């Protein structure tokens, strides 16, 4: 089967890979659409993401939807031909984290298309993928695969919003209008935020933020003044979602927050340490909270998309055939042109 | 009246200062005992603390207990001669923080002996001090002033424990066995921690930690290995109280924490930014929480001391007459000899 | 000035009352519109509400908006002629509840138009009313008084939603489609509820619920079966807002809830005890939570209305001149015809 | 093997029962000691507990400790001869509650010695019992079986304390000084309660409460006045643990609570509904919280007992041979003589 495989930085190949067998409890899914994630782009540009490096060929892809081809054994709700979104998380289900509602912290997680463990867990930018049955969430007929494939990044955003504590009635800042930032915006609106400000270095994605309901959109290139001004209008932000992964963005946040506020760090940073002004965090009693992937929010995301309660179509920038994956990755790197680029795989 | 006044780094003078008038709602307290805090030592050593510098002569002192000398108008529970602990916080009572149980974040706080605002708020290392009536918490006759004067740092520790969320049944790490670290230990035990590990660079204060009930005491100088080993025994700590204010101590923490754990930052750092490995905070979903001073925990601290439910006497290292303040400060700087040094003021 | 005064059950008189003086810190407001609340109707029908009885003539009314006529002393943001919504709560600001963000529990609350204390606090169904300056929340020019006067019941609903804990992604039940129930529906949607079911004894208000976004509307008269069926579809409701104040409605709830669910009791009951099946509450670990009035949610309500983020116009059933107050009250009693009936006062 | 079997109300027989086979994942434990629980007494007196009735012969017993006799397959940490406390809960591990840290709400729980499901789950008052390996918690050699067998009721109390939210620094009331009430007392002290008041109808168990550290012990028979007086001293209790299961006890609580307080209902009630004054719950915004069995608190309980951090010996009233089970049950019914009666089984 055809797959999008990274062999190292900038060495992306669309090539034949052997399909895995379907073991008991598993299903094979024909992959229809797959979205290119920021981590896919990092693998592409740098041969790794955060602290993890590619050590063997790695099929990318973890934002996918498709149709069930084969089932090892009858499973409640799943039949051959069923359209599904795939949850890329395969937690162990037995560790203390899995048993207390924090599967994203599972000590033995297998996450599609990730170099976090060795051997790597191969991803889903391939004509078919084998997953555990409980990773498949049925979707209604009317829901396009392109939208269903956004369930995964939306789950990341919903999880970040839950990590933020109370959002209803709060002044929210989202730094970075990439896919995750824009979905944090949508999730924060859904959770009842009183006012959401979104920032980015370029105006193009901010136009989309405005279309998606942002109350304020600020270009931060050069002059941070506008943002500081916005912060002071609200006597500081109650909640910030840091979705750039840029050290300078996080470093600027403490002074923009209201006392007692909460920063949720969603974006991953380049490897290494970064500088932070901790005294402001202390004297303002600001919470700095890590948010990593998602847990039950995947099902919640699919339900919201299925019922049309969150509209992700403004972030969809284009669908490219798998054979043009290289072009698609290059296009996805250009944040002035693209938010979420997807591959049409089968 | 005699007072301990900083005129700049290392320039501490015991000199005459004029007493203030007692305005409506205020009382004058004869100050019996005052404890030297880490921030007093920082003013002494560096002429400032965290981001604040001394710009005019500053009477130090905010851990004090004494006896009421004069009352502007009759006030419930207070009479001349009443023994009291003094809460050094004088919040405005009307800002949004004061009205929602976060007086420590008051936008117009006047805190005894602090250069955080200009003109500075003069402190209580002086023969008498004028405070608002609600800053005085009566203490029973049997409670020594030396113990009552520990109410303030104990309140800091109790506040940190409340910022930690659930402590009962959790594995706790306290970095730094200075007064605040040791009181965090006592407060964590009081809150039902399953196991408390305390670290320090030198063994002397750790001996006191053990006496106060630490389950484990680790000298971290040179080899961090022991601590890492201790962390791995517990699969990481659930809660850490960072009480050193040393950048390296905080930087080491994320890898010692259990996933989903919480770091409460109590110690203030030197001015400037410090390096932090954020990706571990994200992938482990660790909360990094600032804790600043205290709110209602001051009354709670005095009650615990009055009822003997927390014993602070192990941290009391010596009581020196106000006229020997300079000696007392020098002794307090030597962490091998001293934990909490106090001044006998009147 | 003309006022709507209760002299006892069914003895409502529109009569002249003397206006109060404006003391320092207070303002006089010309009352434009006032909404009739369920408690006003209870005073009218029974001469009392919950456990409180009318003991002296009581001007009713606490859902009002108008225009400032007179100010005792210059106050930030308020000027004569300013259009405002009036927060009927006048908490003491100094008790422990006022100082910890729970002003609704103030031990010395003065709430407009209430017999809860003696002498009663006179209400605002009168040509003018004198309130403390901080009870006035300015509203924009474009916001009709009829809408602004809904700020108070909306604040009740928003407070109930905050008492419910996490609402985002949850299955919600609202029992009772009166004004409070319908506003709980709106507030739950705003807070991101995944699905809201609303019940009532009659279909008319449920039609409004549907218009306001309810996912499901169930008439419960006679056959409880539909509701039980709805509950079992969702494996029980996560959150219920009991907004009828009917003992039978609360009694039926525990069996409709998901394990670990939360019932927020918003409606007040007739005096006396009511029967409850506690064992189900225990074995399902259901939280039964009282919700009383509101705290900071009043300002939040006005902001939501001002920005059009919650639309209350579907509940507005009619505006009657103050001189027809008696008719208006009778019409308001007929739940088939009316949800929120308002008086045009000046 | 010999077992204590209920055949109906008052029909308790010590008789031979066949031992079960040990299936994969299971172990057989020689039962050394078993404590008689209030629910065992209810089965004995009334042939049922709460809403569940005995429909077939039921071996009682779920507070037990013993020694492993047989293991189906090697299991981490367990070997033949290992001394263990047995967790009577056998949750399914796969339902939504098991996966979110609320195993006590498992939809397919098998709890030792319970008539809650049919066929009943047989209990552990028998010479041996077969349980899943993960139900066995190893205990140190020095820990007496009598103490280890208190792990189960202590877990109930620890769970109740966690359901209470913040306990540190709070005024606590425990109604009922039976085993659960007394262990709630111990757990509340452990969690840092500022002051604990315990009530009972008779003075004997209150003497034990005082020995275990209660700050106040009040006999409530006849005159409720003392309790009301105690409540008013504290301006109401912040937290109450209702551990009697007597409707009148719960009915009296709302008026004894501080506004914003929380009642945790631990005791099960007789079948049927009970009268409650809901309006006080609403206007004081009191939380009424069900607490059912325990989740991870079982391991926490065993650890506390193993480390001597909670001393349960004051509640141990006597150890009787299994052949005298009938006498032991009768003695356990007399609350003036007994708190926790245990059986020496092997």
Residue D74 has pLDDT above 70, yes or no: yes
Domain with CATH 3.40.50.720 in chain B: 157-290
pLDDT at B270: 87
Where b means 16+ CB within 10 Å and e means fewer, C179-212 reads bbbbbbbbbbbbbbbbbbbbbbbeeebbebbbeb
How far apart CA D246 and CA A289 sit, in angstroms, is: 44
Residue of B nearest to D304 (CA): B194
| Domain A157-290: homologous superfamily in CATH | NAD(P)-binding Rossmann-like Domain (3.40.50.720)
Question: Which range is least confidently modeled, D136-145, D173-182, D219-228?
Answer: D219-228
Subunits next to D (3 or more Cβ pairs <8 Å) are A, B, C
- List the 211-240 stretch of B: residues with Cβ below 8 A of A: none
Which chains lie within 8 Å of chain A at 3 or more CB pairs, if any?
A: B, C, D
Mutate to test the interface with A, among D92, D93, D94, D100 (most CBs of A within 10 A): D100
**Position D50 pLDDT exceeds 90:** no
Could you give the CA distance from residue D257 to residue D237 in angstroms, rounded to a whole number?
5
Section C107-120 average pLDDT: 96
Parts of chain D belonging to CATH 3.90.180.10: 2-150+312-344
Q: φ, ψ for residue C223 (rounded to 5)?
A: -95, 110
Between CA A280 and CA C85 the distance in angstroms is 37
Please give the angle made by the CA atoms of B295, D280 and D181, to the nearest 5 degrees. 75
pLDDT by residue (tens digit) across D102-119? Answer: 999 999 999 999 999 999
Tokens of D281: 């719950």
Which residues does A225 contact at the CB level (< 8 Å), separation at least 6? Answer: none
The residue among C57, C23, C224, C279 whose CA lies nearest residue C131 is C23
Identify the pLDDT of residue B239.
98
Strand D26-35, strand D340-344: pairing: antiparallel
Q: Which residue, chain included where needed, has tokens 């009619």?
A: C318
Which of A155, A159, A160, A169 should be substituted to probe chain C, the one whose Cβ sees the most C Cβ atoms within 10 Å?
A169
Contact B175, B242 (CB under 8 A): yes
DSSP D280-335: HHHHTT-EEEE--S-STHHHHHHHHHHTTSS--GGGEEEEEEGGGHHHHHHHHH-T
Residues 280-319 of D with CB under 8 A from C: 281-292
Residue D99 at interface with chain A, using a CB cutoff of 8 Å: yes
| Closest to C305 measured CA to CA, from C175, C180, C137, C168 | C137
From chain B, pick out residues whose CB is under 8 angstroms from the CB of C100. 100-101, 296
CB contact under 8 Å between B103 and C98, yes or no, is no
Residue C224 is predicted with a pLDDT of 55
Which chain D residues touch A296 with a CB distance below 8 Å? 100
Using the Cβ of B246 and the Cβ atoms of chain A, whether some distance falls under 8 Å is answered with no
3-state secondary structure of A339: coil
Q: Which of B317-331, C208-222, C261-275 has the highest mean pLDDT?
A: B317-331
What is the least distance, in Å, from the CA of D173 to any CA of chain B? 18
Q: Give the Cα-Cα-Cα angle A210, A212, A216 (nearest 5 degrees).
A: 35
Closest to D323 measured CA to CA, from D34, D7, D13: D13
Asked if the model's pLDDT at residue A224 lies above 60, the reply is: no
pLDDT at A223 over 60: no
Task: Give A-chain residues touching D94 at CB under 8 angstroms.
Answer: 93
Where helices occur in chain D by DSSP H, the ranges are: 38-46, 145-148, 151-163, 179-190, 203-211, 225-233, 247-252, 278-283, 297-306, 325-333
Mean pLDDT, range C241-254, rounded to an integer: 94
Hey, is the C-beta of C77 within 8 angstroms of any chain D C-beta? no
Convert the pLDDT of each residue in B278-311 to its tens digit. Answer: 999 999 999 999 999 999 999 999 999 999 999 9
Which residues on B lie below 8 Å from C296 (Cβ)? 100
Structure tokens at A198: 């979104």
The count of other CB atoms within 10 Å of the CB of residue A18 is: 7
CB A176 within 8 A of CB A156: no
Of the candidates C244, C282, C278, the one whose C-alpha atom is nearest the C-alpha of residue C260 is C282
pLDDT category, A32, cuts 50, 70, 90? very high
Task: Find the length of chain C.
Answer: 346
Interface test with D, best of B159, B160, B164, B168 (most D CBs within 10 A): B168
- Name the one residue in this structure whose structure tokens are 């591990």: D93
Q: CB distance A104–B277 less than 8 Å?
A: no
- Residues 6+ away with beta carbon under 8 Å from D152: D35, D37, D62, D63, D64, D85, D87, D88, D298, D301
Nearest-by-Cβ selection for D290 from C269, C272, C286: C286
Judge whether D117 is closer than 8 Å to chain C, CB to CB.
no
B71-75, B311-315, C234-238, D161-165: segment of lowest average pLDDT: B71-75
Tell me how far CA of residue A196 lies from CA of A203, B51, C13, in angstroms.
Answer: 16, 31, 48
Reported as a single tens digit per residue, the pLDDT across A50-105 is 888 999 999 999 999 999 999 988 777 799 999 999 999 999 999 999 999 999 99
Cβ-nearest to C101 among B93, B99, B296 = B99
**In the predicted structure, residue D271 carries a pLDDT above the cut 90:** no
Q: What is the pLDDT of residue C234?
A: 73
pLDDT interval class at C270 (50, 70, 90): confident
Structure tokens at D310: 């909670």
| DSSP letters for A294-338 | -STHHHHHHHHHHTTSS--GGGEEEEEEGGGHHHHHHHHH-TTT-
Assigned CATH topology for domain C2-150+312-344? Quinone Oxidoreductase; Chain A, domain 1 (3.90.180)
Nearest CA in chain D to C293: D283
Position D183 pLDDT exceeds 60: yes
Question: Measured between beta carbons, which residues in chain A are less than 8 angstroms from residue D100?
Answer: 100-101, 296
C-alpha distances in Å from residue D327, one per residue of D12, D318, D330, D342, D343: 11, 11, 5, 11, 10
Q: How confident is the model at residue C222 (pLDDT cuts 50, 70, 90)?
A: low
Which residues, other chains included, contact D271 with Cβ-Cβ below 8 Å and sequence gap of 6+? C279, D50, D51
Per residue in A265-322, pLDDT tens?
999 998 888 999 899 999 999 999 999 999 999 999 999 999 999 999 999 999 999 9
Give B-chain residues touching D192 at CB under 8 angstroms. 168, 190-192
The shortest C-alpha distance from B163 to chain A (Å) reads 9
Of C269, C284, C286, the CB nearest to D279: C269
How deeply is C20 buried, as exposed, middle or buried, from its count of CB atoms within 10 A (0-12, 13-18, 19+)?
Answer: middle
Is C119 exposed, middle or buried (CB count within 10 Å of its CB: 0-12, 13-18, 19+)?
Answer: exposed
Q: Does C326 touch chain D (CB under 8 A)?
A: no
Give the integer Cα–Cα distance in Å for A66 and A28. 10
β-strands D2-8, D58-59 pairing = antiparallel
D101 and A101 within 8 Å at the Cβ level: the answer is: yes
| D269 contacts C292? CB cut-off 8 A | no
Mean per-residue pLDDT, D11-17: 97
**pLDDT tops 90 at residue C242:** yes
**Bridge partners (DSSP) listed for residue D56:** none
Q: Inter-chain contact B100–C98, Cβ cutoff 8 Å? A: no
B169 interaction partners in chain D (CB closer than 8 Å): 158, 297, 300
Write out chain C residues lying below 8 Å of A100, CB-based. none
The percent of residues above 90 in pLDDT, for chain D, comes to 90
Q: Percentage helix, strand, coil, to 5, in chain D?
A: 30, 30, 40
**Are B265 and A278 an interchain contact pair (Cβ–Cβ within 8 Å)?**
yes
Say whether pLDDT at D223 is over 60: no
C-alpha distances (whole Å) from C272 to each of C41, C50, C247, C269 are 19, 9, 10, 8
Residue D224 binned pLDDT confidence (cut-offs 50, 70, 90): low
Instruction: Give me the numbers of helices (H) and strands (E) for chain D, helices first please.
Output: 10, 21
Q: Which residue on chain D is closest to C268 by alpha carbon?
A: D279
| pLDDT beyond 60 at C157 | yes
Number of other residues whose CB lies within 10 A of the CB of residue A232: 10
Cross-chain residue pair D265–C281, CB shorter than 8 Å = yes
Angle at the Cα of D275 (from D274 to D278), degrees rounded to 5? 125
Contact assignment for B282 to A271 by CB distance below 8 Å: no
pLDDT of residue D222: 62
CB pairs under 8 A between A and B: 118
Q: Would you call D292 and C282 a contact, using CB atoms and an 8 Å cutoff?
A: yes
**A25 inside 8 A of chain D by CB:** no
- Distance CA(A51)–CA(B108), nearest Å, equals 43
- Biggest CA-to-CA distance, chain A: 60
Question: Taking 90 as the threshold, does the pLDDT of residue C148 lie above it?
Answer: yes
Q: Suggest the residue from A50, A159, A285, A295 to mutate for an interface test with chain B (most B CBs closer than 10 A).
A: A285
Task: Determine the 3-state secondary structure of C150 from DSSP.
Answer: coil
Residue A122 has what pLDDT?
97
Please give the backbone phi and psi of residue D117, each rounded to the nearest 5 degrees, phi first.
-125, 160
Q: Does D276 touch chain C (CB under 8 A)?
A: yes
Biggest CA–CA distance in chain B, Å, is 60
Indicate the pLDDT class of residue C76, thresholds 50, 70 and 90.
Answer: confident
- Name which of A166, A168, A300 is nearest C169 (Cβ-Cβ): A300
Q: How confident is the prediction along chain B (346 residues), in pLDDT tens digits per residue?
A: 999 999 999 999 999 999 999 999 999 999 999 999 999 999 999 999 888 899 999 999 999 999 999 998 877 779 999 999 999 999 999 999 999 999 999 999 999 999 999 999 999 999 999 999 999 999 999 999 999 999 999 999 999 999 999 999 999 999 999 999 999 999 999 999 999 999 999 999 999 999 999 999 999 976 557 788 878 877 899 999 999 999 999 999 999 999 999 999 999 998 888 999 899 999 999 999 999 999 999 999 999 999 999 999 999 999 999 999 999 999 999 999 999 999 999 9
User: Which residues from chain C sit within 8 angstroms of residue D272, using beta carbons?
Assistant: 277
Phi and psi angles of residue B186, each rounded to the nearest 5 degrees, phi first: -60, -40
Name the nearest CA neighbour of A175 among A258, A263, A259: A263
Burial state string for A87-109 with b = 16 or more CB within 10 A and e = fewer than 16: bbbbbebebbbbbbbbbbbbeeb
Contacts of B315 (CB under 8 A, 6+ apart): B150, B179, B182, B183, B208, B212, B339, B340
Chain B residues inside the 8 Å CB shell of C98: 99
The ipTM value here is 0.95
Q: Per DSSP, what are the bridge partners of residue C197?
A: C173, C216
* Nearest CB to A169; choose among C166, C168, C300: C300
Rounded Cα–Cα distance for residues D233 and D218 (Å): 14
State how far the alpha carbon of C267 is from the alpha carbons of B98, C39, C113, C270, D282, in Å.
31, 10, 18, 10, 8
């Amino acid at each position: 089967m055809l797959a999008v495989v990274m062999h190292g930085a900038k060495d992306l190949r669309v090539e034949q890979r052997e399909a895995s067998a379907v073991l008991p409890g598993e299903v094979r899914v024909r992959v229809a659409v797959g979205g290119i994630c920021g981590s896919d782009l990092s693998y592409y540009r740098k041969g790794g993401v955060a602290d993890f490096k590619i050590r063997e060929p790695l099929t990318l892809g973890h934002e996918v939807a498709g149709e069930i081809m084969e089932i090892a054994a009858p499973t409640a709700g799943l039949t051959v031909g069923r359209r599904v979104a795939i949850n890329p998380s395969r937690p162990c289900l037995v560790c203390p984290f899995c048993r207390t509602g924090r599967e994203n912290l599972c000590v033995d997680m297998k996450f599609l298309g990730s170099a976090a463990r060795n051997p790597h867990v191969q991803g889903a930018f391939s004509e078919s993928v084998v997953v555990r049955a409980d990773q498949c969430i049925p979707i209604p007929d009317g829901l396009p695969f392109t939208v269903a494939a956004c369930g995964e990044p939306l789950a990341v955003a919903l999880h970040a919003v839950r990590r933020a504590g109370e959002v209803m009635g709060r002044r929210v800042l989202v730094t970075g209008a990439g896919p995750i930032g824009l979905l944090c915006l949508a999730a924060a609106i859904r959770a009842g935020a009183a006012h959401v400000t979104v920032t980015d270095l370029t105006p193009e994605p901010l136009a989309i933020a405005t279309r998606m309901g942002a109350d304020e959109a600020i270009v931060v290139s050069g002059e941070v003044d506008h943002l500081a001004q916005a912060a002071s209008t609200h006597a500081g932000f109650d909640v910030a979602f840091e979705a750039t992964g840029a050290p300078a963005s996080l470093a600027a946040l403490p002074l923009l927050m209201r006392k007692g506020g909460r920063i949720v760090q969603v974006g991953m940073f380049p490897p290494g340490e970064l500088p932070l002004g901790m005294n402001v965090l202390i004297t303002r009693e600001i919470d700095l909270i890590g948010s990593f992937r998602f847990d039950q929010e995947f099902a919640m995301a699919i339900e919201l998309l299925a019922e049309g309660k969150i509209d992700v179509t403004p972030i969809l920038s284009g669908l490219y055939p798998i054979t043009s994956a290289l072009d698609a990755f290059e296009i996805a790197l250009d944040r002035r042109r693209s938010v979420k680029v997807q591959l049409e795989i089968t």
